Structure 1
Amino acid sequence: MRSSVPARVGTWVVAFVVGAVYGLAGTIAHAYEIGWFPLGLILAIVGCAALLAAVRLLTADRWAALATGLGMMTATLIFSGKGPGGSVIVPDTGLGTVWTLSLPILVAIVVAWPDRIRPLAEN
């Protein structure tokens, strides 16, 4: 049974906002390194991938996962430019490039992943 349209749209809006929060957190934290190890980037990618997978599995709705991913990518896009004071959150480095490209790839994988296989009904 499908849920009503307003409930689905509400789910998509909440998913977009939660995705934007995760995208903002990842955008800010991705540059953190311990020595040579990019801890912030790894945690940001794993956290965003886990959120996308959870939304897709719990809602069984590609559109909710897409809304989550669009929220992540929108936050990254907005906060990756120069700020009013000239500061840059996502500098043009290897970590910044990996972070910027990893989100669309994660979203594409999670949204395109096939639905769970349902067992055939026995006759």
Structure 2
Amino acid sequence: MRARGARIAAYAVLAVLGGAVAVAGSLVQAGWFPLGLLLALGGSVALFHGGARLTGTRVGAAAPAAGWTLVVLLLTASRPEGDFLFGTGTGTYFFLLGGMLAAVICATVTPSGQFPPAGTTGPADLVKGR
């Protein structure tokens, strides 16, 4: 039961981190175009894949992806004053669509429970039974 609670807490932390990466990425991608866009997408991919590796499940990639997507969609909405965070440009669309595509890829490609056990260095160790 403890492991289940720890895993749920990890998912919650990953979702919050996904939101933080979304805010940081939305500011960086427009400020330092085109390298900022690559940095923002790289950070998103690292979080999604890292969450899957940390938990060993596909939900580990989906939890930060859900937090990322929720925050990005909230940031794209315009306010009554007419202000909005995202401008209209190709970099913005690459960030939005690229981040969502990366989330889907990381959540589907990551094999559930197929990570090598801790302490192994590669496939040769698994074959030898180390």
Write out the 4+ residue segments of structure 1 that deviate beyond 3 Å after TM superposition: 116-122
Q: For the residues of structure 2 that align with 1:58 and 1:10, how far apart are their CA atoms?
A: 12
Corresponding residue number in structure 2 for 1:109: 105
CA RMSD of aligned residues (A): 2.2
Corresponding residue number in structure 2 for 1:85: 81
Corresponding residue number in structure 2 for 1:12: 11
What is the CA deviation profile of residues 74-109 of structure 1, one whole-angstrom value per residue up to 9, with x for unaligned ones?
111011121343222112211111111011110111
TM-score normalised to structure 2 length? 0.78
Q: For the residues of structure 1 that align with 2:98 and 2:83, how far apart are their CA atoms?
A: 23
The more displaced of 69-78 and 24-33 is 24-33
Gaps of 5+ in 2: 117-125
Gaps of 5+ in 1: none
* Compared CA separation, residues 64 and 94, structure 1 to 2 (3 A): same
Identity of aligned residues (%): 25
- Give yes or no for contact 1:31–1:95 (8 Å, CA) kept in 2: yes
The more displaced of 2-11 and 97-106 is 2-11
Corresponding residue number in structure 1 for 2:91: 95
- Report SS of the residue matched to 1:31: helix
The 5-angstrom pairing of residues 1-123 of structure 1 reads 4-33=3-32, 37-115=33-111, 116=114, 119=126
- Give yes or no for contact 1:16–1:69 (8 Å, CA) kept in 2: yes
- Report SS of the residue matched to 2:15: helix
Q: For the residues of structure 1 that align with 2:60 and 2:14, how far apart are their CA atoms?
A: 6
- Give yes or no for contact 1:18–1:71 (8 Å, CA) kept in 2: yes
Amino acid in the other structure paired with 1:39: L
The more displaced of 75-84 and 44-53 is 75-84
